[in-house]
Structure 1
Amino acid sequence: MIRRYAQPAMSAIWAEQRRFETWLAVELAATDTMAEAGIVPADAARELREKASFDIARIDEIEQTTQHDVIAFTTAVAEHVGPAARWLHFGLTSSDVVDTALALQMREACDLILEDLDALAAAIKLRALEHKRTPMMGRTHGVHAEPMTLGLKLALWFAEVQRDIVRVRRAREAVSVGKISGAVGTFAHLPPEIEAGVCQRLGLVPAPIATQVIQRDRHAELMTTLAITAASLEKFALEIRGLQKTELGEVEEPFGKGQKGSSAMPHKRNPVGCEQVCGLARVVRGNAVAALENVALWHERDISHSSVERVILPDSFLALDHIIRRFTRIVAGMVAYPERMLENIARSRGVVFSGQILLELARRGLSREQAYLWVQRNAMQSFHQQRDFRELLLADADIMGVLTRDEIDRTFSLDEQLRHVDTLFTRVFGAEPAQTPEFLSS
């Protein structure tokens, strides 16, 4: 991932330094466990822990000859240790170290994503409560449907982020497994007790069964989870982009002092942050496909997954970390325009209350089909002639033969349309419902 999108904490997890540090942690956990079991001399294990270190430049230099990164690593470490180094990597295969270490990195990266999501959820909840009773137009197919509130839109986002959090926790558990079972997973050189001891030291769970590698369906589960989370962010950001269109003008991502929107047009205030979120979500989604391709390997393993994971795992975590953090700032600074929302509700001249009129007529004994025809003809007339829907209804002899003026007036009440907002907020946030004040009428 390019530096532009790399946050320091996540970058550190996927840096070469951390990768080799984690490899060394697995190697030393193995020698310590084997020392307790009497396989490795205790003094050799102590010497390894005291002296083991590495230099990345030296690893790279050795790898030019060996063409094998783990052998280059163990050779470079051995140069710092001396004779006790013969017990380093004892009984292990490369993937014992690499896959177990990768589990530690993925677990740490998941923890950072979970922190990010908690912060995002908190920001969304704050704005949802702020705009719980801010009426706006609900749209289906991009067309005015019925009124809702901005708070309900944000509550929907909050609930989705909570599901993302559950998914990331589940994926974190799926990848938090280690293996020290050897070249084809048969424990030919070390007993299962060593694997159990190593994993316990590292806070991992032993894979119940493995080949030379931990099976990549686990990694695919993680990557698809990251992709779903990124898709959530894309969904939210796309909504802000849509609502920020000049023709709607209901919501706007923050535009900082001194910020410029266009090199040619000084008036521009573009949703570039949300566009970046949508763009990077595509990267994470594409990487999930590559992770699914990694599930099928030849026999007990091949190496086709390795080069892919060197790219997709760091890049996906870095991209997702960045867009969650950026979108959290967008939500916190998001500007809402309630007056414009009311103007947009009014632009439909009342036809958005047609569903309630339909129900009122049905309650009075009309067939649904007949009621629909009466209401629709007035709605279409309102649209084509740009006339007020309520006035058309009041002038319609058929409808006025069934409903009174007061009954029609009540159907145009935002209070009536939005009377269950408290219930929905209680479902999402668990808060005690507050007394609902009157909404502004259209």
Structure 2
Amino acid sequence: EAFVQAVSDREAVTDHDVAAFVDVVQAAIGAPAGAWIHYGLTSSDVVDTAWCWMMRDACDQLIAAATELMRTLVLLAREHRDTVMIGRTHGIHAEPTTFGAKVALWALQVERDRVRLRAARASVAVCKLSGAVGTFSNIDPSIERHVADALGLQPVPATQVIARDRHAEFLYACASVGATMELIAVELRHLQRTEVREVQEGFKPGQKGSSAMPHKRNPIAAETISGLSRVLRGNLQAGLQDVALWHERDISHSSVERIVLPDSALLAYYVLRRMNRLVQGLQIFPERMLANLHSSYGLVFSQPVLLGLVQAGLSRDDAYRIVQENAGRAWDEGRSFRELLDADARVAVPASVLDEAFDLGRSVRYAGRGVDALDALHLG
């Protein structure tokens, strides 16, 4: 604490944080050795190398957290490989799918986030100790190599600063993690709506969902993740604006990075861990999924009916109009789509054709391919 206070007091005089730090360290070491502290260096030699060291280690923590989430998602996908539910496009019933297929796609996207984090790690695991404009005018390059080896970093050509596209890549990897977490969170929020209720976040004894309405069980974890993901995207925008600096360097990036680099690392780590806890405690209701699928009177089988009529010799447009007309009646009148088709003389196909079209097992016979793709992932 005394050292930190001494630096703070000195900075009040120098109005320069690194210069104040150097002054205090030199004074603590004393003459003549203290005079060699910061010899031939500029502030960014110290600060940029330190930032890159921290970002590299942050990537390791983020990759580990992403791997833990992937393990949870893979287990859930395999457990629900054959749990049938309705697939929705534009929020409207489309065709049957499985919950396992949905979760498998989440896991595969998290894997791509791991790839992006590894790439970002490689980009930021660098250093520079090359002086005021990066030309080694007052320091031997061997010093840079010595420090790089000690820290496990790679020396790179630079101006006074390391190029900020590297930092932007790190921020993009963090923002991409946030986008993936929001993708999952938004889906879980929709599936928790009262009229859907196919899943539900865990709700512990004593928990309250609302200060006013005792019945409430709100998707607060998913909503929190959605909100924090917006911050990560905003930080990326700020980081991209830091790439273009004047000549060999200006200081416009510095104040931004003191906020967005640590905040993005922490937020990306938090949303990964929070999502892992959410998924581990998630309640899934297969019966409700099946009930919702059947709630649209069999309309989810309209495409195989269309194709069956085409195979029977109708033009695609004629078949489409017949199916569309009966689908509209089923929806508007609350009647069975299959029964309306059976009663329509224009649907001149054997009953076996419609039986196959309305076969739920046929619709999802390949839905497990996404789950099978998880076998290729390396989760060690």
TM class, shorter-length: over 0.9
Partner of 1:236: 184
CA distance in 2 between partners of 1:227 and 1:279 (Å): 12
- Determine whether 1:286 maps to 2:234: yes
Decide which of 366, 372, 376 is 1:420's aligned counterpart: 366
* Secondary structure, counterpart of 2:250 in structure 1: coil
Q: CA deviation at 1:404?
A: 1.2
What is the identity, as a one-letter code, of the residue corresponding to 1:277?
I
Distance 2:67 2:9 in 1: 43
| 1:144 has 2:93 as partner | yes
Q: Tell me if 1:103 matches 2:103.
A: no
Q: Shift of residue 424 of structure 1?
A: 2.8
126, 132, 140: which one pairs with 2:81?
Answer: 132
Write out per-residue CA displacement over residues 160-200 of structure 1, whole angstroms, 9 at most, x where no aligned residue: 00000000110111111100111001110123232222212
From 51, 54, 61, the equivalent of 2:9 is: 61
- Decide which of 197, 205, 224 is 1:249's aligned counterpart: 197
Q: CA deviation at 1:365?
A: 2.0
- Larger RCO, structure (CA 8 Å, separation 6 or more): 2
Letter in 1 for 2:29: V
2:253 partner SS: helix
Alpha-carbon separation, structure 1, partners of 2:281 and 2:375: 21
2:161 to 208, 213, 232: 213
Q: Unaligned regions of 5+ residues in structure 1, if any?
A: 1-16, 18-53, 432-442
Amino acid at match of 2:90: H
Please report the RMSD computed on the Cα atoms of aligned residues, expressed in angstroms: 1.3
**How far apart are 1:421 and its partner, in Å?**
2.6
Offset at residue 293 of structure 1 (A):
0.7
Tell me what 2:26 maps to: 78
- Say yes or no: does 1:364 pair with 2:312: yes
Q: For 1:409, which of 348, 355, 374 is the aligned residue?
A: 355
- What is the aligned partner in structure 1 of residue 208 from structure 2? 260
Shift of 1:410: 1.8
1:123 aligns to 2:72 (yes or no): yes
CA shift, 1:80, in A, is: 2.4
Query: What is the TM-score of this pair, normalised by structure 1?
Result: 0.83
Cα displacement (A) at 1:406: 2.1
Report the secondary structure of 1:283's partner residue. Answer: helix
Q: Which residue of 2 aligns with 1:180?
A: 129
Residue in 2 that maps onto 1:270 = 218
Name the amino acid aligned to 1:279.
G
Q: 1:76, CA displacement in angstroms? A: 1.6
Alpha-carbon distance in 2 for matches of 1:164, 1:225: 7
1:350 matched to 2:284: no
Unaligned runs of 5+ in 2: none
**Residue 281 of structure 2 aligns with which residue?**
333
Select which of 149, 168, 171 maps to 1:200.
Answer: 149
Please state whether the residue corresponding to 1:187 is helix, strand or coil.
coil
Contact in 1 for aligned 2:73/2:106 (Cα 8 Å): yes
- Whole-Å separation in 2 of the counterparts to 1:357 and 1:318: 51
Counterpart-to-counterpart distance in 2, 1:81 and 1:190:
21
Provide the TM-score with structure 2 as the length reference.
0.97
